[in-house]
Structure formats: C-alpha cells, structure tokens
Structure 1
C-alpha cells in the first residue's frame, strides 16, 4: 500500500538516538577491563528496560522499544569492536593506555591525577581522559620526571609526570 493512504497518526516516529562518544574512523576501540564491564552492564540495563517496559499504549511502547533497540545497536557495535587492554602487560614505567598518571601542571603546587581510558569510559569529573584526547596523546610514552608541553593560543602548559600506576 502506498504511504499516501496511511493516516498520519499511524506513522511511526523515527527514534533520534544521540551518538556515542566520538571514535574516529580507523582508530582501534581500546577499553580497559573496567570499561568493558561497564559496556556490558549498560547493555544488560537497556535489555532489562526494554523487557520490563510499562507503556500506556501500543504505539508508545513501539516508539520506546525502537529507541532502546537503536541505542542497543550502537552499543553492540562498540562492544563488538572493543579491544580490551590488559593493564598488567603495559610497560609499567611508561605512560600508556590504562595508566593512572599523577601530574604537576605548570607551577601549581597541587598534583592532578588522570587515568587514560577508552572513549566510552572517559569522564573528566572522575579523572578519566580518553586516549585520543590531546593531553593523553602528549603524555603517551613519557616516564616519571619527563615533561609534556601543550601549546595553547595563550601560551604553553607544562605537564610533569610525577607518578605512573596501572590499577
């Protein structure tokens, strides 16, 4: 039947799902073991939400299920492409993926601590930065005592590596 003969009320809304954290084309989707567990927990949570859905009517239910399924599809792609990095196998004396790095930034007396993680794990409020971020890329391969310089429009910011741990 032609769509021209369908009532407007019968047409399904196409779910708008925000994209996941940006992972540039061709970049390996590295994740920590904790990050992989978070992705799997998110998947299970979405499945539970879909399976236990209490909708007012069938149309509303279909719309919500379509939205959850679209989110699950994006998430499943991330899980399928994820490459879990064993933090114990990382070079313990260098900053690499998964490292928690204690930094002295400029002349600041207080130290900052960041862990370099996958794009889906990144949360600056929790001290987790994505491995594709400019700071993470500057710090990669640095050792304790070495400095990384970030060039900004207003000058330079110097990061000195104080401590490296892998948890």
Structure 2
C-alpha cells in the first residue's frame, strides 16, 4: 500500500476522554464542597436535565445515525458519540460534586453575624473609596457579574474571619490592596437558575 494512503497515528485519538479536565473550578485537596441551597438546586436541575432530557435525545440521534450505514463518515454519528462522552463526563462530575456537597444556608441565624464566613455578603471599600459588594459562595456558584466569588478565591480568603470595620490586605495576582469592610450581612444568595437548551 502507498504511504500516501496510510494514516499517521494521532496522539489525540489515544487521549482518554476521562483525562480531559472539566472546565469547572477545582476543589483544593481535602476541602469541603460548601454550597448554598440555591447553588445546590441549580446543580441538581442540571443533572436531572442531562439524565432525563439531553442524554436520551442525543442517544436517539446516535441510534438513528448508526442505522444509516458507514459510521466513519457519518457526521451525526461522530458528533453524537462525542456529545455523549461530554454528557457522561459532566454527569459523573456533577454526581461527585453533589455527593461531596455540604449545604450552608447564608440566611440561617448565626451566633456571630458580624464575622465573615461562607455565605456572607460583604460591602468593602478600597483606598480610593470605591465600594464593592460581594457574596462568598461555593466554587460551582461563581458569577462575577453578580458579585458572587468563590470561598477559595484570594479575595474571599482575605475577607474570611474579618469583621465590619476591619481593614484586610488582599494579595491578588494584580497586586496588593487594603480593603476596609463596611458591612457584613447574611441573607439568601440568589443564583441564576439552570436552563437547558
């Protein structure tokens, strides 16, 4: 056979699909997966949608495409199988995250509502007097547009255990900054609900 018609092995073909990291933030080794009730509900809704709606729909498409003959050049079959692997990987990821989840309700009464912990909504000012409000949430609930930051982020680590009136030092990749804590509140942190296709 001519060398022109042989296929060179592609290292990407040998790549284990499970070895591809999930784009969601990683948890530190041994850390608890703190999550708010709204964030937990969002993950549960996504898992249910994947299992009961998306996966059956894609499986049906793959079965139909497989019945059309040559699978090596069948785009519906090839894309469908790839999508099924992505769905299965996400289902495994969500299942692990939910199994390890530790629900913390920010609106629950606290003995010390002035100290910053997971679930706190904090208003602070930088040295220029610019104010910002953030809520400290789980790694699966990050939404910077809404001011939801992960409890393992540099900002949250600087704020945690401080109190209203304290000045904390934020060590971030962009530099060091002093932040004055103006207000600490504990209330429900709304999370954008999951919406499937």
TM-score by length of 2: 0.70
Alignment pair present for 1:98 and 2:128: no
Is 1:117–1:128's contact at 8 Å kept on the other side of the alignment?
A: yes
Deviations 1:95-138 (A, max 9, x none): 11001101111223x31010000111112122111101111011
Report the alpha carbon displacement of residue 64 of structure 1 after superposing the two structures with TM: 2.2
Structure 2 counterpart of 1:31? 35
1:13–1:63 CA contact under 8 A, matched in 2: no
Query: Match for residue 84 of structure 1?
Result: 103
Count the aligned residue pairs.
Answer: 157
CA contact (8 A) 2:33 2:138 kept: yes
Q: Deviations over 1:59-100 (max 9, x none)?
A: 443332222111100111000000001221443111110011
Q: Which residue of 1 aligns with 2:56?
A: 51
Give the RMSD, CA atoms, in angstroms. 2.6
1:70 alignment counterpart: 89
* Residue 133 of structure 1: aligned partner: 153
**Highest Rg: 1 or 2?**
2
Structure 1 unaligned residues grouped into runs of 5+: 1-7
Question: 1:39 and 1:77 mapped to 2: Cα distance?
Answer: 11
Q: Which residue of structure 2 aligns with residue 5 of structure 1?
A: none
